[in-house]
Amino acid sequence: MGQAREVMDRLTAAVTAGDSAAVAECYAGDAVALTPDLGEVVGREAISSYLLEFSTAFPDLTYEYTQKHEAGNVAIDEGYITGTNTGALSLPSGESLPATGNQIRMRSCDIAQVEGGLITSHRFYFDQVEFLGQLGLMPDLPS
C-alpha cells in the first residue's frame, strides 16, 4: 500500500468516527476540495468542517467500498455512503434542516491527490438529487 492509499483510508476512518482532529491532520493547510454542493472549499479547517457536517447529520455514517484504487500519488474510492439522518443538516445557504430520520445509501466517488503525506486536492462526487430524494426532501414528480 502506498502513501496515497494510507492517507485516504485514514481519512475515511476519521470521518466515520467523527474525529475532527484526525480529519484535519489528513489535509495540507492549503488543500482544495471540489464538492457537488459547495463548489470549491479551500483549507484544512474548511474541508474538515465540510466533511464533519455529514458525521453530525448522520452519526451512524459508514462507507461501503465497492472499489479502492491507487495510482502513484492519487487514491480513488468508489462506494456508498450510508447512515440515518438523526442530526440537523447544514445547507450551503447557512440554514439547517431538521433531521428527517430517513436512511440513505448514496453512491459516491472520491479522488484525492497526496503530496508529502497530506491530501492537497480532493474531488467529491455524489448525486445531490439522489441524496435529497432519499432524505424525503424532493417534491414528488408527476408520473
Q: Does a structural domain hold residue 115?
A: yes
Q: Does a structural domain hold residue 100?
A: yes
- The reported pTM is 0.91
Q: Does a structural domain hold residue 92?
A: yes
Residues of the domain holding 57: 3-134
Show the cell assigned to 133: 430524494
- Going by C-alpha positions, the residue among 58, 103, 110, 107 that lies closest to residue 79 is 107
Q: What's the CATH number where 118 sits? A: 3.10.450.50
Total domains, the chain: 1
Q: Does a structural domain hold residue 139?
A: no
Q: Does a structural domain hold residue 75?
A: yes
Q: Does a structural domain hold residue 35?
A: yes
Burial of 11 (0-12, 13-18, 19+ CB in 10 A): buried
| Local confidence pLDDT in tens for the 143 residues of the chain | 799 999 999 999 999 999 999 999 999 999 999 999 999 999 999 999 999 999 999 999 999 999 999 999 999 999 999 999 999 998 778 889 999 999 999 999 999 999 999 999 999 999 999 999 999 988 775 66
Q: Does a structural domain hold residue 77?
A: yes
